[in-house]
Amino acid sequence: MNNAQILAKSFIDLGVKRIFGFSGATILPVFHAIEEYGIDIVVGANEQSCAFAAGGFSRASEEVGIAVVTSGPAITNTLTAVADANADSIPLLVFAGQVAQTKMGTDEFQTINVESIFADAAKKVILVTEHQNVEEIVKDAYFLAKSGKPGPVVIDFPFDIQKNEGEYKAIDPDRFRYKYDEERHLGENQCKQFFDMLQKAKRPLLYIGGGLNSEEGSQMIRAFNRRYKVPSIWSLMGKGILNEKGDWALGMLGMFGVPAANMAIQDTDLFVAFGIRWDDRVSQKVGETGLDADIAYFDINPEKVQEVRFSRNPKFSFIGKAETALQDLLNYAETHDIQLNIGEWQKHCSDLKSRHTLNYNRKTSAIQQSEVMEHLSTMLTDRIKVTTGVGNHQMFAAQYLITPSPKSFLTSGGYGTMGFALPTAIGAQLANPNHDIIAIDGDGSLLMNLGELFTVGKYELPVKVLLLNNHGDCMVRNLQDILYDGNHVGTKKITSVSFANVAGEMGFKFFRRVDKREDLKQSLEEFIAAEGPAFLEIPTDVDEVLYPRIPAGLGYKDMILGPYMEKN
């Protein structure tokens, strides 16, 4: 077998049935080997979208998405998607064609030093040489991407190496799975120490991050809160992990977090964080200024735990899988009949949630994005997954949508990448063919990867695109109103173009534009019920401002509720 065939056969051994890719001269041996072994190739409109789709496949499942592209501009096109996956700890494999080894480092057509470019954007970069076994590289990379703090692995595969004969050994993938299977547990004394802290606390608060965003993680934290009902908040990446309808579930924390979450964190005396990266937009004030709270921290990333130990001095920390720690804590609680007495705090937080609800301008004639999200939230089921672009629509979705299950709210958290929603929805749909996928986007974000409308139409994928078109990059526009006296440089996008009609030309069976509020709810219902590709465009208020908000550099006590929530 040649090494391209060995790569494809290794995919088969790993259970890979589909890859996302874009062909080119230096990757053709791999493409033809993949086709030879019956693996489906989903071809996107560009390489960035292929890598985003592969990331969406990972985000919406327990598997690792794979992108395969050619050399030069093709692999550099994937850089943004790789950095995005790295920021959100998403496992991803990207295979790139490369010129022959003898031509690397020259002015050969379409060559670039992949390792130097991706070194800080990927978990690992591998250059395949004639001295390496391709099967071992592929199978090891698959489990490396999933292990510890998950992330993207980039494999640079020279053209001559692809064609060279190699040795296929049929190595059992479990050999590599077990290599990275590091199971750490809480000891008896650690469990006692944690529950001593929890029982002494009068106002404990759980903070749930993306590190728990799995079926197992969700089951564990839901079981913990069925037992204790500790008031809980979550990060943007933590949506759907908890039962968001519970009285103790207060909402998303952060710069654009909901009022109850941002208020509760000001009162807590024990902040218990699971699987978070302490992003500056959500928790820069915890343990630094203004909050008198002990901290307990659970995370699998030893570097991050050490950083937090140094900067915030938590009284309790654990390096390992948060879901494993939760199972240990639940077992200890059951064995030792651990009880909590936090009734007064539970009532206070429940009152915060009921008194300080989200609200928006309900009297204006223009349709509000928050209004659309409020309607859509009532229509979501556990058979629907949502992706978002980046902008105001992303935060409105995070605030208003009640996400019923883990891996159901897929968004670009750490890197904030516009153009994310549509290609990610493609990957999510192919990972979950029995689910409906709704890509919520803004006009600015959609335009970044508009070509994926063609991909959706070409493959007749049942992806639903909800476009909230406010004719501007309005998250930035909001900042310009504050910082530049309303001088909207570079953020005006007024156009009469109907994106819905463009979708119709791209093969969408359902495409509609809604201009009147009286048609909004019914159109949303018909959009949800539509079969095949569906596109609903809703022109929204360009002057709608995203609230609540915390100005950059300030703390939770400085939260601005805006004119429509002040009296709640």
User: SS3 string of 100-113?
Assistant: CHHHCCCCCCCCCC
Work out the angle at residue 528's Cα, subtended by the Cα atoms of residues 523 and 533, and round it to the nearest 5 degrees. 100
Instruction: Categorize the per-residue pLDDT at 480 as very low, low, confident or very high, splitting at 50, 70 and 90.
Output: confident
Q: What percent of the chain has pLDDT over 90?
A: 83
Nearest to 549 by CA among 563, 537, 539: 563
Which of these ranges, 28-42, 235-249, 266-280, 331-345, has the smallest mean pLDDT?
A: 266-280
Tell whether the model's pLDDT for residue 280 goes beyond 70. no
- How do residues 66-98 score in pLDDT, each as one tens digit? 999 999 999 999 999 999 999 999 999 999 999
pTM of the complete model: 0.95
The predicted model gives 403-415 an average pLDDT of: 95
| Percentage helix, strand, coil for the chain under 3-state DSSP, each rounded to 5 | 45, 15, 40
Q: Which fold is adopted by the domain 188-355?
A: Rossmann fold (3.40.50)
Nearest to 124 by CA among 94, 160, 98, 88: 94
Tokens of 153: 């692995």
Is the alpha carbon torsion for 210, 211, 215, 219 positive or negative? negative
pLDDT of residue 278: 80
Return contacts of 341-346, CB within 8 angstroms, 24+ apart: 341/199, 342/201, 342/202, 342/203, 342/204, 342/230, 344/202, 345/202, 345/203, 345/204, 345/231, 346/229, 346/231, 346/247, 346/248
Is the domain spanning 3-179 CATH 3.40.50.970? The answer is yes
Tell whether the model's pLDDT for residue 287 goes beyond 50. no
- How do residues 91-133 score in pLDDT, each as one tens digit? 999 999 998 888 888 888 889 999 999 999 999 999 999 889 9
Tell whether the model's pLDDT for residue 416 goes beyond 80. yes
pLDDT of residue 283: 52
**Mean pLDDT computed over every residue of the chain:** 93
- How do residues 179-202 score in pLDDT, each as one tens digit? 998 789 999 999 999 999 999 999
pLDDT of residue 191: 97
Q: Which fold is adopted by the domain 369-546?
A: Rossmann fold (3.40.50)
- How do residues 431-440 score in pLDDT, each as one tens digit? 999 999 999 9
Q: Are 9 and 16 contacting, i.e. CB atoms less than 8 angstroms apart?
A: no
Nearest to 561 by CA among 409, 390, 399: 399
Tokens of 66: 């794979």
Which of these ranges, 368-377, 441-450, 466-475, 490-499, has the smallest mean pLDDT?
A: 490-499
Tell whether the model's pLDDT for residue 163 goes beyond 90. yes
Tell whether the model's pLDDT for residue 331 goes beyond 80. yes
pLDDT of residue 388: 98
The predicted model gives 541-549 an average pLDDT of: 92
Which of these ranges, 203-212, 406-415, 489-498, has the smallest mean pLDDT?
A: 489-498
Angle, helices 188-200/322-336, rounded to nearest 10 degrees:
80
Q: What are the sequence ranges of the domains in the chain?
A: 3-179, 188-355, 369-546
List, as one string, the DSSP characters of 173-188: THHHHHHT-------H
pLDDT of residue 356: 94
The predicted model gives 281-285 an average pLDDT of: 54
Q: What percent of the chain has pLDDT over 70?
A: 98
CA atoms within 13 A on the CB side of 194: 23
Tell me, yes or no, if the two domains 3-179 and 369-546 fold the same way. Answer: yes
The predicted model gives 412-416 an average pLDDT of: 93
